[in-house]
A and B are shown apart, each in its own frame.
Chain A
Amino acid sequence: MENKDASSPERKLQCSDVGKCFQLLERILDGELVEGGNEMLQEKLDQCQPCFAHFHLEQAIREVLKTKCTKQPLPDKLAESIRQMIQDAR
Chain B
Amino acid sequence: MSEVQRRKYSQEERSVIFDGEFMPHIDSMYNFAFRLTFDEDDAKDLVQDTYMKAFRFINSFEQGTNAKAWLFRILKNSFINDYRKKSKKPATVDYQEVETFYNSDDVDYQSTSDLRAESVKDMLGDEISNALNGLAVDFRTVIILADLEGFTYEEMAKILDIPIGTVRSRLHRARNLLKDSLKSYAQSMGYGRDEEED
Contacts and interface: CB of A to CB of B under 8 A. Distances in A.
Contacts of B113: 54, 57
Contacts of B63: none
Contacts of B55: 86, 89
B26 interface: yes
Contacts of A19: 107, 109
Contacts of B171: 26, 30
Interface stretch (B2-10, B73-81, B85-93, B121-129): B121-129
A30 B146 contact: yes
> Interface of chain B, helix or strand or loop or mixed?
helix
Contacts of A23: 107, 109, 168, 172
> Interface of chain A, helix or strand or loop or mixed?
helix
A57 B115 contact: yes
A84 B144 CA distance: 29
Given A66-B147, A79-B26, A81-B48, A57 B31 contact: no
Nearest to B149: A66
Interface in B8-26: 11, 18, 23, 26
Given A64-B120, A69-B148, A26 B48 contact: no
Interface in A68-89: 68-72, 74-75, 78-79, 81-83, 85-86, 89
B124 A65 contact: no
B103 to A, nearest CB: 18
Contacts of B111: 15, 18, 22, 50, 54
Contact of A64 (B18, B40, B123, B152): B123
A59 B147 contact: no
Contacts of A20: 109
A1 interface: no
Which of A18, A19, A62, A82 has most B Cβ within 10 Å?
A: A82
A63 B122 CA distance: 12
Interface of A: 7, 15, 18-23, 26-27, 30-32, 50, 53-54, 56-66, 68-72, 74-75, 78-79, 81-83, 85-86, 89-90
Nearest 6 pairs between A and B by C-beta?
A68-B125, A60-B117, A65-B147, A19-B109, A56-B117, A60-B120
